[in-house]
């Protein structure tokens, strides 16, 4: 059986690369190329030939076209859901909401990078799927540039950073404002922020809005060295232990964490260092993960409607695909001669502060 044709991303300006091209360059048959790229060569193709074919695959940039297989079996078109880290339960809930909204009309392919993986490498692995569309959560500017310009794409949780693309955002700035007012009302004057890396736009907005609204209440956001980690409780725990002496020396009485996962690690560090929460240090987060109501003490956090975010984005993407709208179509078609419908507007979902036992009156 021969391998299907591969076509590089239209938006990347790359020429069509076929199995026949690889076969010609390597001096073998198309069926040999198929055996090699599908890892069915053992006992059929010489090792030296396999090495030669793989070298030409890499040089030419050939990617197996999985869409041909789906078309041959009547499978649904594929939609990719790309997230910064599926290990974060928030994005798992977003992805499940999106899949529910897309229903049986599409085959949903989840990007599941490990913490610290480059999401652009994941997109490269998805190129062979000839996607009908994509949902991209909390993207970096570099990631947006990699997406094909004519691929219907909806961006999630990237406030203010993706003008020109359909998107569904969370009102993270308002959530940070609610949290700042809560802490100021409790008498906290010196607050620190446990930052996330990679620092995508959603995390930058949380930090900036928190600083602004603390300042308007007469408090300050204190910059503490090494108070930054991946979105992972273990990494946050290590960062908290490393920065705890500096936090205490700086007179910090409250720490806001970029996510609830960060807060879990910080709470563990406080317990290990004998710092009582909230009497010595208040701790808060963002997301309202299911576990946040059950940690000790229960976590004060800004609740994000993850399932609704995924569902809204999934419905928006399905409509984009049905319209045949390209990824950058934002101009309204209202009143157009062809009777087209208006462009899909960006949606912003409200968030809410959930006050629990991890925040209390300032200790000093």
- Helix, coil or strand: residue 197: strand
- Beta strand 300-303 pairing with 352-354: antiparallel
Q: How far apart are CA 134 and CA 96, in angstroms?
A: 14
Residues 123 and 185 in one domain: no
Residues 143 and 79 in one domain: yes
**Measured CA angle at 17 (ends 11, 23), to 5 deg:** 170
355 lies in a domain?
A: no
Say which CATH number the domain at 29 has.
1.10.260.40
Residues 227, 191 contacting (CB under 8 angstroms)? no
Helix ranges (H only) for 250-305 are: 260-272
Residues 186 and 275 in one domain: yes
Q: What is the DSSP letter of 113?
A: P
* pLDDT tens, residue by residue, 98-128: 989 987 778 888 776 555 556 566 666 666 6
Q: What is the secondary structure of 64-95 as a DSSP string?
A: --HHHHHHHTTPPEEEEEE-S-TTSHHHHHHH
Let me know if 353 is exposed, middle or buried by CB neighbors in 10 A (0-12, 13-18, 19+).
buried
- Beta strand 153-156 pairing with 167-170: parallel
Q: What is the pTM of this model?
A: 0.73
Give residue 166's pLDDT: 87
Residues 144 and 22 in one domain: no
108 lies in a domain?
A: yes
Q: What is the DSSP letter of 165?
A: S
142 lies in a domain?
A: yes
Residues 74 and 125 in one domain: yes
53 lies in a domain?
A: yes
Q: How far apart are CA 17 and CA 57, in angstroms?
A: 10
Assess whether the previous peptide bond of 198 is cis (omega < 30° from 0). yes
* pLDDT tens, residue by residue, 183-228: 999 999 999 999 998 888 899 999 999 999 999 999 999 999 899 9
Say which CATH number the domain at 201 has.
3.40.50.2300
Could you give the percent of the chain with pLDDT greater than 90?
49
Name 48's bridge partners. none
Could you tell me the residue range of the domain that residue 256 belongs to? 172-304
- The number of domains in the chain is 3
> How many other C-beta atoms are found inside a 10 Å radius of the C-beta of residue 245?
11
């Amino acid at each position: 059986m021969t391998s299907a044709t591969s076509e590089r991303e239209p938006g990347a300006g790359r020429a069509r690369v076929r199995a026949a091209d690889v076969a010609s360059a390597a001096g073998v048959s198309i069926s040999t190329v198929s055996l090699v790229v599908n890892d069915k060569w053992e006992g059929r193709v010489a090792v030296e030939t396999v090495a030669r074919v793989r070298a030409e695959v890499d040089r030419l940039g050939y990617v197996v076209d999985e869409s041909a297989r789906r078309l041959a079996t009547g499978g649904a078109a594929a939609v990719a859901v790309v997230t910064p880290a599926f290990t974060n339960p928030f994005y798992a809930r977003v992805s499940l909401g999106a899949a529910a909204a897309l229903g049986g009309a599409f085959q949903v392919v989840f990007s599941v990078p490990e913490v610290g993986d480059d999401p652009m490498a994941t997109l490269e692995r998805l190129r062979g799927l000839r996607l009908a569309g994509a949902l991209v959560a909390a993207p970096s500017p570099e990631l947006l540039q990699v997406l094909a310009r004519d691929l219907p794409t909806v961006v999630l949780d990237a406030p203010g950073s993706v003008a020109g693309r359909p998107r569904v955002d969370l009102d993270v700035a308002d959530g940070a404002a609610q949290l700042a007012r809560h802490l100021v009302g409790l008498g906290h004057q010196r607050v620190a922020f446990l930052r996330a890396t990679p620092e995508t736009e959603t995390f930058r907005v949380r930090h900036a809005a928190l600083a602004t609204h603390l300042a308007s209440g007469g408090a300050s956001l204190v910059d503490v060295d090494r108070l930054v980690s991946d979105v992972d409780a273990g990494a946050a725990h290590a960062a908290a232990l490393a920065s705890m002496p500096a936090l205490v020396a700086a007179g910090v009485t409250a720490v806001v964490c970029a996510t609830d996962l960060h807060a879990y690690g910080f709470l563990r560090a406080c317990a290990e260092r004998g710092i009582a929460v909230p009497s010595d240090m208040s701790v808060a987060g963002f997301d309202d993960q299911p576990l946040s109501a059950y940690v000790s003490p229960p976590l004060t956090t800004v609740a994000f409607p993850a399932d609704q975010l995924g569902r809204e984005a999934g419905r928006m993407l399905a409509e984009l695909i049905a319209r045949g709208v390209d990824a950058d179509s934002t101009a309204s078609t209202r009143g157009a001669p062809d009777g087209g419908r208006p462009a899909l507007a960006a949606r912003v979902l409200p968030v809410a502060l959930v006050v629990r036992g991890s925040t209390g009156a300032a200790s000093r």
